[in-house]
């Protein structure tokens, strides 16, 4: 891959008098999973359509591997999976895949092993001989993902690939995306699921009303914009003032309510082992301990004043 895989500079897209994308700029310089996280209507789909070379921007610059994404010379490096699959209902799963292999001028013998790998990973092995008119929405999304990967593109652009999937199917798609990272692919993913962006992404752009309002690795975003983590403790009986005072001096103010207590901290992973040891050294014990960490939704709420989902 070139040093700069993707460059977006001052990108604007207007429909009539409405600005859908408002002066967006960012770069991708190495393989990994990159997420556009934002509510429906934020401009994610429009941005992905421009990156895939389907939609022309009003102004600004987009380059993939140093070329305009509408250039046919770069399209073989891109796999685009839209929200609505473009499949043929009167063909089986295998027939749909073979049709697209023909469109890409690919020899079936060269791609069959790769296709079978993805079919197995996405749990479609028993369904590929069925007419896709009989497929569920989730099965159609999975087949569309397989077809997106058939020509082994370097860059994958996935628009809401897990919307409408049940939790099990969503995990299968997550496994697929993680396998693509391991193969040094670039995956650009649009989602409004904060957990999806958090678990999968090396880098997140939070987008709202056509603007990127924050970006960075998920942990950095949560540390920068999110509230402190909360260590929630439950004791078998209410601790004495002496125990509470000693713990407060070492770990910050303890908010005590009977047998329950809370400690707010930016470093829960560092504090918890020391805290548990201190409690037991004090002659006390714990009934339970839980750490509640900030989420990307907390970040979105801090930046916009409203919830993501």
Q: What is the DSSP string of 75-87?
A: HTTEEEE-SS---
CA 208 to each of CA 92, 145, 163, 307: distance values in angstroms, whole numbers, following the listed order: 39, 26, 19, 11
57 in any annotated domain: yes
Which pairing describes strands 186-191 and 6-15: parallel, antiparallel, or unpaired? unpaired
One domain for residues 162 and 265:
no
How many domains does the structure of the chain reveal? Answer: 2
Residues 197-251: tens digit of each pLDDT: 999 999 999 999 999 999 999 999 999 999 999 999 999 999 888 888 888 998 8
One domain for residues 209 and 237:
no
**Residue numbers of the domain that contains 264:** 228-293
One domain for residues 236 and 175:
no
One domain for residues 71 and 139:
yes
* Average predicted confidence (pLDDT) for the chain: 93
How does residue 1 score in pLDDT terms, banded at 50, 70 and 90? very low
Residues 2-34: tens digit of each pLDDT: 468 999 999 999 998 899 999 999 999 999 999
One domain for residues 220 and 232:
no
Q: Is the pLDDT assigned to residue 267 strictly greater than 70? A: yes
Residues 100-147: tens digit of each pLDDT: 999 999 999 999 999 999 999 999 999 999 999 999 999 999 999 999
Tokens of residue 55, six digits:
């939609």
**Pick from 190, 209, 224: which residue ends a domain?**
224
Please tell me which residue, 258 or 1, carries the higher pLDDT value.
258
* pLDDT at position 86: 87
Which pairing describes strands 186-191 and 155-159: parallel, antiparallel, or unpaired? parallel
């Amino acid at each position: 891959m070139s040093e700069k895989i993707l460059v977006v500079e001052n990108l604007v897209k207007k429909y009539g008098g409405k600005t859908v994308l408002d002066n967006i700029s960012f770069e991708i310089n190495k393989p990994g999973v990159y997420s556009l996280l934002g509510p429906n209507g934020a401009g994610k789909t429009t941005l992905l359509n421009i990156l895939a070379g389907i939609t022309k921007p009003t102004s600004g610059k987009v380059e993939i591997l140093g070329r305009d994404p509408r250039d046919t010379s770069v399209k073989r490096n891109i796999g685009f999976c839209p929200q609505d699959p473009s499949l043929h209902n009167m063909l089986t799963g295998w027939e749909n895949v073979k049709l697209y292999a023909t469109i890409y001028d690919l020899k079936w013998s060269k791609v069959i092993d790769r296709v079978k790998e993805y079919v197995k990973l996405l749990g479609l092995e028993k369904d590929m001989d069925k007419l896709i008119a009989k497929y569920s929405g989730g099965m159609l999304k999975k087949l569309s993902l397989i077809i997106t990967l058939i020509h082994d593109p370097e860059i994958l652009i996935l628009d809401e690939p897990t919307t409408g999937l049940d939790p099990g199917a969503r995990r299968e798609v997550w496994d697929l995306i993680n396998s693509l990272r391991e193969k040094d692919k670039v995956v650009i993913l649009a989602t409004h699921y904060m957990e999806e962006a958090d678990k999968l992404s090396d880098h997140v752009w939070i987008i709202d009303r056509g603007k990127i309002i924050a970006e960075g690795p998920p942990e950095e975003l949560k540390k920068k914009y999110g509230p402190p983590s909360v260590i929630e403790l439950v004791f078998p009986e209410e601790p004495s003032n002496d125990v509470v005072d000693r713990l407060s001096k070492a770990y910050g103010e303890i908010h005590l309510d009977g047998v329950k207590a809370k400690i707010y901290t930016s470093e829960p992973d560092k504090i918890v082992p020391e805290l548990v040891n201190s409690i037991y050294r004090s002659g006390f014990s714990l009934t339970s301990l839980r750490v509640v960490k900030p989420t990307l939704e907390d970040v979105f709420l801090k930046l916009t004043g409203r919830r993501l989902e």
